[in-house]
Amino acid sequence: MDNTSLALLGRSPTIRLLAGLAVTLAAVAIYAGYTITQLRGLRRLQAETIDRNRVDSLLLLRIQNDLNAVSLAMRDMLDSSEPYPLTAWKAQFARLRVDLEDALTREAGFSSANAPAEQRRFLASSAAQFWDALDRNFELARTDEAEARTRIRISLQARQEALSTAVARLLVQNNESEQQAAAETQRIYQRAERNVYVFLTAILLVLLATGLYLVQYNRRIFQQVATLSEQRRDLAQQLIAMQENTFRYISRELHDEFGQILTAIGAMLQRAGRRVPPLDAALRTDLKEVQEIAQSTLDKVRTLSQALHPSVLEEIGLEAALRQHLPVFEKQTGIQLEYEFSDNGPALDQTAAIHVYRVLQEALNNVARHSKAARASVRLRYSEEYTVLEVEDSGVGFQGAGRASGMGLVSMRERAELVHGRLELLSGKGGGTLVRLTVPVALQETHA
């Protein structure tokens, strides 16, 4: 792995993602605070303006009704057709005064924030002056009723009309204040709606930017992984090629050097045995025993040489090498093998053949070590597009034997990738394990 790969893998997106998350959370917090402030302002506007104006308007209407009742009472009181004196109306006006003063007191508690203070003082002082003048007129009516009637027509009715006009102005001001509050409420709702759209747009942009960044980062990571995979494949191919070259060298050294030495030792022992006097049986027996040991050692060296690099692969091909190796495996392990080879197969190049042969060796070694099986099958089939090697046992299966992973399987997979093949580990029909290697025929020539 080069410095560029390390630098790319070291640039984790965590910091950028955390920064984006912090910005998003800050935006959410700011928007939430702003929205809460707007809602509180709207609530305050409704409570302090709209609701107060509504109650104040109702009280002003009550005051206006009371003033209208006062006006009607004065009109009836001044009607010449009535047989009652003016003082007879005093009790009715007293009831109207109590109701009007109660309405004025209640209205003063709701109108302090909605109308100028001078208007409120004018309304209160005008009402007090009206009732004071009415009381004086009732006192005057005891001695001079005609004069009292004249003063009521000239003064009190004017005062009542002034009070009604002041109340009407306050009602108009309340209506204008309600319209302004409604307009302000509409503006608040519009700002809140606009802020929602702005916030959603900002969040979508942040999510889009984050998604694009992750896509771009993942694309770079996948490209780097693909590059590393290619480098790993090249390295594995080089290591396996170096391993095969080393095995080939050691095999030739064993076969040529040690084999020739042991063959020479055997020949020398045989000549020495012929020179031993007939009467020296003990020496003849010892020489024969040493000769047998030398021959046994030569056989083992040749077997080891063939195991390291079967020269028969280069001489007569893969199928002949398999037919030679399988009986040796049966003899060494005691596992009975069934062979099945299809005829007229395409001739594999040496590189592809050695990889198929090594996969067979490793699969049979796994059968001997892990499967606990007494029988196994080896099948080699050819088609126009593929060469398929299958090794199937009737043992405990790769899950029960713990063969789902290991260096042997790693080596098998590496060799399968080197010939662009596919290695499969499947469950056999009898509950054992089926190892299947499929090698494309069209790609085998590229490994020659």
* Tens digits of residue pLDDT in 8-41: 445 566 777 777 778 777 877 887 777 777 777 7
The confidence score (pLDDT) of residue 444 equals: 47
Under the banding of pLDDT at 50, 70 and 90, the label for residue 76 is confident
First to last CA, the chain: 28
The confidence score (pLDDT) of residue 46 equals: 64
Mean pLDDT calculated for residue range 359-372: 86
Share of the chain above pLDDT 70, in %: 87
The confidence score (pLDDT) of residue 369 equals: 86
Pick the CATH number of 317-447 from 3.40.50.1970, 3.30.565.10, 3.40.50.2300, 3.40.50.300: 3.30.565.10
Listed ranges 39-53, 174-188, 424-438; the one with the highest mean pLDDT: 424-438
The confidence score (pLDDT) of residue 399 equals: 58
Which of the pair, 309 or 219, is modelled with greater confidence? 219
Check pLDDT > 60 for residue 228. Answer: yes
Instruction: List the chain domain ranges.
Output: 3-216, 317-447
Mean pLDDT calculated for residue range 352-380: 86
3-state SS, the chain, equals CCHHHHHHHHCCCHHHHHHHHHHHHHHHHHHHHHHHHHHHHHHHHHHHHHHHHHHHHHHHHHHHHHHHHHHHHHHHHHCCCCCCCHHHHHHHHHHHHHHHHHHHHHHHHHHCCCCCHHHHHHHHHHHHHHHHHHHHHHHHHHHCHHHHHHHHHHHHHHHHHHHHHHHHHHHHHHHHHHHHHHHHHHHHHHHHHHHHHHHHHHHHHHHHHHHHHHHHHHHHHHHHHHHHHHHHHHHHHHHHHHHHHHHHHHHHHHHHHHHHHHHHHHHHHHHHHHHCCCCCHHHHHHHHHHHHHHHHHHHHHHHHHHHHCCHHHHHHCHHHHHHHHHHHHHHHHCCEEEEEECCCCCCCCHHHHHHHHHHHHHHHHHHHHHHCCCEEEEEEEECCCEEEEEEEECCCHHHHCCCCCCHHHHHHHHHHHHCCCEEEEEECCCCCEEEEEEEEHHHHHHHC
Which of the pair, 201 or 277, is modelled with greater confidence? 201
Check pLDDT > 60 for residue 347. Answer: yes
